[in-house]
Structure 1
Amino acid sequence: MNNEYNGHVIWSQVDANMHLRHSAYADFAAQARISLLNELGLDFSVFQKLQMGPILFREELQYLREVGINDQIKILSFLTKAKADGARWSIRHDLYRGDGVKACIIHVDGAWLDLRKRKLTGLPEDVATKFMEVTKSEDFELLG
């Protein structure tokens, strides 16, 4: 499966110091996750029919290097932890600048929300099987 997302920094994503603003890193990571789901055939129409969607409990960013306007970026995404049924999960995003330098590491912990009941829920078996095809990190941990 393709775990790579590519994009570029636009004017509205930079701050007064002319580098990528802090919240834009999280926006890029969110788009990378959506692209992962689409790659698996799990686009938003699937989740709309199921009346469920992803929810984050934690989002942690470690900034390593500056990213500037018009810079090309590449994000590699890895499933680092998950329950076997995909109900709870953690993903790491490694964001690289156009020159290949790693600029940020983004860790997220999440689950799935039933949009009607507003409570956490599991994935249907067929969807869980697809979700678990996300590229796993070298240190992937299967949660009990």
Structure 2
Amino acid sequence: MSTVYEGQVIWSQIDANMHLRHSAYADFAAQARIAMLDSLGLDFKSFQKLRIGPILFREELQYLREVSINDTVKIHSVLTKARQDGSRWSIRHEVFRGDGTKAAVILVDGAWIDIAQRKLATLPQELSEKFMGLPKAEEFTLE
């Protein structure tokens, strides 16, 4: 099971080769993560109140097939690894074209940052429990 975000490829996301530009894949994955967090009650207002936000340490993209303008993409997202308290985590995004063809796989490693102190942080226990309730990959591991 995964969370799914759907979006349409627009003109500004197309490169000179007339397909989805490399950084647009990362943008779609970021929006999928934000939508996933929002569904847990971790929206921007909550982050502002807590003075905490998500931060990435690594983002790896594997391109499999081209995606064209006006196509629809679906991004399936799962938690692949996390610490018990959800303070560090890894997410896999699989990007599918409108015809169901897998177009890319995006792997990210991240954590939470205290925006005021500019130091790594943890979520309050209630939100950490919600975060750890995200759909997990079959190979999910606790660190």
What is the TM-score with the length of structure 2 in the denominator?
0.98
Report the secondary structure of 1:134's partner residue: coil
> In the TM superposition, what is the alpha-carbon distance from 1:2 to its structure 2 partner?
6.3
- Aligned counterpart, 1:114: 114
Equivalences, count: 143
**Aligned residue for 2:72?**
72
Identity of aligned residues (%): 67
Segments of structure 2 that go 5 or more residues without pairing to the other structure are none
Matched, 1:95 2:99: no
Q: Equivalences for 1:8-87 in 2 at 5 Å?
A: 8-87=8-87
Give the residue type in structure 2 aligned to 1:97. R
Unaligned 5+ segments in structure 1 are none
Counterparts of 1:116 and 1:38 in 2: how far apart (Å)? 22
Q: Which residue of 1 aligns with 2:134?
A: 134
Preserved CA contact (<8 Å) 1:113 1:120: yes
Give distance in 2, aligned partners of 1:125 and 1:40.
13
Q: CA deviation at 1:111?
A: 0.3
Give the CA deviation at 1:133.
Answer: 1.2
Report the TM-score, using the length of structure 1 for normalisation: 0.97
CA–CA distance in structure 2, aligned partners of residues 84 and 5 of structure 1 = 26
CA contact (8 A) 2:79 2:135 kept: yes
Equivalent residues of 1:66, 1:103 under 8 A apart: yes
Structure 1 segments of 4 or more deviating over 4 A?
none
CA RMSD of aligned residues (A): 1.0
